[in-house]
A and B are shown apart, each in its own frame.
Chain A
Amino acid sequence: MQTNFTLDQLADPNIAVADKILRSCVHCGFCTATCPTFVTVGDEDDSPRGRIYLIKDMLETGAPASTPVAFHLDRCLSCLACMTTCPSGVDYMHLIDYARVRVEETYQRPAHDRALRAVLAAVLPYPARMRAALRAASLGRSVRGMIGTRGMLGQRLRAMLDLAPGAVAGRSSTERPGVFKAQGTRRARVALLAGCAQQVIDPGIHDATIRLLTRMGVEVVVAKGAGCCGALTHHLGKHDAALAFARANVAAWTREIGAGGLDAVVTDTSGCGTVLKDYGFLLRDTPEAEDAARIAGLAVDISELLVRLEYQPSVTPPPGMVIAYHAACSLQHGQRVTEAPKALLRRAGFTVVEPRDPHLCCGSAGTYNILQPEMAGRLRERKLGTIAPLKPDAIVGGNVGCLTQLSGTAIPTIHTVVMLDWMAGGPRPETLPSDATIAATRPPAAVAQDAEATWS
């Protein structure tokens, strides 16, 4: 596609990158068909191609982001379905990332919006603050009925309260740095991204990862100085904060490589994995560029690592158990990891089914469900509507955000690694129905339809 930048503008390396991305878009419109917001609202401005055009216009004119531009870019989930679909290989992720930074820098948001974003950026990445906030939210829920449903503010407050778990767990084992020794002969040594919000919302996920890996002969390190991956602030357009997190992690793991060696940096939160794998690009213009690229190269999702380590189950699931695999966008589109989790779950003995339109986002998308409760709610309903006919005993996926977003129905949501750990000798997930209940629900005859996100 034609672009209109002056040589002066192109001298800015960020604009040069954006120009290259914009030039690679041929404006064919294929991506519109798989974009969750476009299929929901049917407006070019809420499609990938439309957003690319809005960004092009904003960057070319060099004007501050206008209210409509901020509105439509904010509505983008960064689910990256458009990248999976695009035949032209348009790097939408780096374009929208940069556009978000521009919006953050040049657009004056309404005061309540600014405040909320500041709070999210100041709380979510820090486990202790997050726990305190959730305790407050448990209290807050008792007054939920008093909050109005009209207006953005009320909707957002309600959304936040609804996402908070009923009971807040204590401090998880991964909140302090430490080394979890391999059982038997050590096969590998990996760093686990302890991250931020997940270990507060559901500490059981890290516990399962550590149990499963150490049982398989892997030493797991929670490195000192590593923390939030930076994704949450990154998607809020808070570039400097995101870079600081990324830098700290790169430094911590680089030290760890020096100390005991690392075969991988593993994450069990796919939303973080996408950003870890992008550290090389994020820190490209910093002195840490080389280290960052090395860490990005070591980053793997837990499912990728388990395939590599040839995961084997030791027990079998309850008879008749059917699980619905929910593909997190950060895994299927962000990291293009599509088959590994399903293959592992099947190897573990589960009957795995998939809903229609698996390429469509559930609406979680980091802080999206808090900032855009209406669209997120519609996408949640749509996703649950496609899962329900499968009558699964559990919804299983690799990203805590999705699991929270899809919870609240009779069907429990459980992390992939928790299920895999269970079949390899770990504890039975508490939220699962009893074996008798499972046996009583007949497995559906119809299995996955429309498994392909693209045309066939």
Chain B
Amino acid sequence: MITLPKPKPDVLARRDAVHEGLRAIMQDRGVITDATKLKPYETDGLSAYRQMPLAVVLPETTEQVAAVLRFCHQNGVRVVPRGAGTSLAGGALPLEDAVVIGMMRMNQIVEVNYRDRYAVVQAGVTNLGITKAVEADGFFYAPDPSSQLACMIGGNIGMNSGGAHCLKYGVTANNVLGIKLVTIEGEILELGGTHLDTAGYDWLGIVVGSEGQLGIATEITVRILRAPEGTRAMLAAFDGNEVAGACVDAIIASGIIPVALEFMDRPAIHACEAFAHAGYPLDAEAMLIIEVEGSVAEQDWLLGQIKEICARFNPISLKVSQSAEESAAIWKGRKGAFGAVGRISPDYLCMDGTIPTSTLPLVLRRIGEMSVQYGLQVANIFHAGDGNLHPLIMFDANDPTSMHKAEAFGADVLRLCVEVGGCLTGEHGVGVEKRDLMSVQFTEIELEAQRRVKSAFDPEWLLNTAKVFPLQAGTASAGPDALPHAA
């Protein structure tokens, strides 16, 4: 189980006063303090980790966020920001002495500007909600994490989320132009603007992916893009994981950049087909979803090239989608993949490592071996094009041994990613889940440099503390209160 920092006894002792103060700021709306009502907030998409918070606040304006943060800062109260609570890394896991600030009431589209191709949205707008707001006019917002239906743009900023289509369009960081950020002191900063490359330091580069540790984003200006003339998906089925991995490597090595290049292995194919009825090849060991876009001629040419490459790897079948409905079904299966695995296993840990694509066959083989070694099933689903792995380790949370094994298995997978030259997280963030593995990736000096950035924004370490950095004795910058205690 994960270790959380020792709650501050003085804050716990002032529980009622803190509740009172929050209610006064919020004028009695959107402050949750009742234990029963707090319960559903004790966890997020990583439900194996749970901790009841001190209170939940649901602000409706940036000013309220600022007032709540100012209050927490003045009173030394920790804060955990929360979007839709879909984090698979425990990014929104509360602390016993922390106030959770839930951003889901800030769900308005503030402005859409087609001429300069940007949209200003509040942090609680869902990722898909942005595209829905502009798609009738032929635009879209590119990053598309699998949870895009539900996850919120504020959380995407925190975790620098990616998605299937990031192979071509880049991740959140490449699609954000401006952020209204509230600091822990309650100051409202306007970072970036409505166009690329504002003058001065690249503040957006620091804030995007900072996992809610530097401030809370309340309003985000995102780049919206013209939708392509058309897209087409194809399915390539293979009789082994490694050969499919080798095929991915060959496609990327040939210089072709499809909009998406996704990998699913046998357990994943079966689970997703049961949910989406997309015509996935049930006899295959591994399958690639490859999507291209552009004019019909461009699509045909690209698909022709890709088919030729696939043919070199003895595919069982190659199938090009013939209609928009068929493509939609293919993606529905892929995007619902994590949940669909819930059909074959009560619980899973979704890992999120990134590796150089050339090491795919090796990494897949090693994961297969670990699966045997730990006696736990794995479904492999991932953004193969950019080497972002999502092995889903299936376990039974009602059985503690199984859970410990899954955690150890997951850690081994991530160590393997680092070993082959990759990194711990592609898009889910570090959260609490991978916190203790950060020292596998970084030296103590590198970690200390990162901690100093956090300290510059939040000297008392009140914002989403206990995430990202390993809790260890002797790290002065984490503050004495961050020292671990036995949980």
Q: Say yes or no: is B278 at the interface (Cβ < 8 Å to chain A).
A: no
Taking CB atoms and an 8 Å cut-off, the chain A residues in 364-385 that contact chain B are: none
* Contact status A28-B338, CB under 8 Å: yes
Q: Is B136 an interface residue (CB 8 A)?
A: yes
Residue in contact with B346 in the complex, picked from A23, A85, A87, CB distance below 8 Å = A23
> From residue 111 to 142 of chain B, which have CB atoms closer than 8 A to chain A?
124, 126, 128, 132, 136
- Give CA–CA (A2, B348) in the complex, Å: 11
Q: Give chain A interface residues in 19-65, CB to chain B under 8 Å.
A: 23-34, 38-39, 41-45, 47, 49-50, 53-54, 57
Which chain B residues (318-352) contact chain A, with CB distance < 8 Å? 328, 331-332, 335-343, 346-348
The distance in angstroms between the C-alpha atoms of A34 and B84, with both chains bound, is 12
Once A1-B347, A85-B149 are accepted as A-B contacts, the answer to whether A45 and B342 lie under 8 Å apart by CB is no
Q: Quick check: B340 and A32 within 8 Å, CB to CB?
A: no
Shortest Cβ distance from B275 into A: residue: A87
> Of A175-183, A244-252, A322-330, A447-455, which stretch is located at the interface?
A447-455
Q: Compute how far the CA of A57 lies from the CA of B126 in the bound complex, rounded to whole angstroms.
A: 28
Q: In the bound complex, what is the Cα–Cα distance between A191 and B37 (angstroms)?
A: 46
Is B126 a contact of A2 with CB atoms below 8 Å? no
Distance of A23 Cα from B398 Cα, bound (Å) = 9
A88, B340: Cβ atoms closer than 8 Å = yes
Q: Taking the complex as formed, is B150 at the interface, i.e. its CB lies under 8 A from any CB of chain A?
A: yes
Cross-chain contact B343 with A29 (CB below 8 angstroms): no
Q: How far is the CA of A86 from the CA of B34 in the complex (A)?
A: 28
Residues 356-407 (chain A) with a chain B CB within 8 angstroms = none
* A149 contacts partner chain B, Cβ-Cβ < 8 Å: no
Is A68 at the interface (CB under 8 A from chain B)? yes
Residues of A85-144 contacting chain B, CB below 8 A: 85-90
- Nearest residue, chain A, Cβ from B343: A89
CB contacts (< 8 Å) of B126 on chain A: these are 33
The answer to whether A86 touches B339, judged by C-beta atoms less than 8 angstroms apart, is yes
Given contact pairs A29-B45, A33-B126, A42-B105, A49 touches B40 in the complex (Cβ within 8 A)? yes
Known interface pairs A49-B40, A57-B36, A66-B36; A455-B346 also in contact (CB < 8 Å): no
| A1 with B34, Cβ < 8 A, contacts A26-B341, A30-B147 known | no
Contact between B328 and A45, CB atoms less than 8 A apart: no
Do A44 and B346 form a contact, CB below 8 Å, given A30-B339, A87-B336?
A: no
The reply to whether the CB of A3 lies closer than 8 angstroms to some CB of chain B is: yes
Beyond A24-B343, A30-B150, whether A87 also contacts B338 by CB under 8 A is yes
Q: Give complex CA distance A224, B41 in Å.
A: 51
CA distance A364 to B47 in the complex (A): 33
Q: In the complex where A54-B40, A69-B36 touch, is A29 in contact with B84 (Cβ < 8 A)?
A: yes
Question: Which chain A residues lie closer than 8 Å to B128 at the CB level?
Answer: 33, 455
- Interface check A409, CB cutoff 8 A: no
Docked-complex contact B86 and A29, CB < 8 angstroms? yes
Enumerate chain A residues within 8 angstroms of B136, measured Cβ to Cβ.
446, 449
Q: Is A456 an interface residue (CB 8 A)?
A: yes
With both beta carbons as reference points, the residue of chain A lying nearest to B104 in the complex is identified as: A42
Interface set, chain B 295-330, CB cutoff 8 A to A: 328
Known contacts A2-B48, A68-B34, A455-B148; is-contact A88 B41 (Cβ 8 Å): no
Q: Taking beta carbons and an 8 Å cutoff, which residues of B are in contact with A?
A: 30, 32, 34, 36-37, 39-41, 43-45, 47-48, 58, 84-86, 102, 104-105, 107, 124, 126, 128, 132, 136, 147-151, 274-275, 328, 331-332, 335-343, 346-348, 397-398
Q: A29-B45, A29-B84 are in contact. List 6 more A-B contacts (CB 8 A).
A: A32-B150, A43-B104, A54-B39, A57-B36, A87-B340, A87-B342
A interface with B by C-beta (< 8 Å): 1-3, 23-34, 38-39, 41-45, 47, 49-50, 53-54, 57, 66, 68-69, 72, 85-90, 446, 449-450, 452, 454-456
Which 9 residue pairs spanning A and B have beta carbons closest together? A87-B339, A88-B342, A87-B336, A2-B397, A26-B342, A50-B40, A27-B47, A42-B105, A42-B104
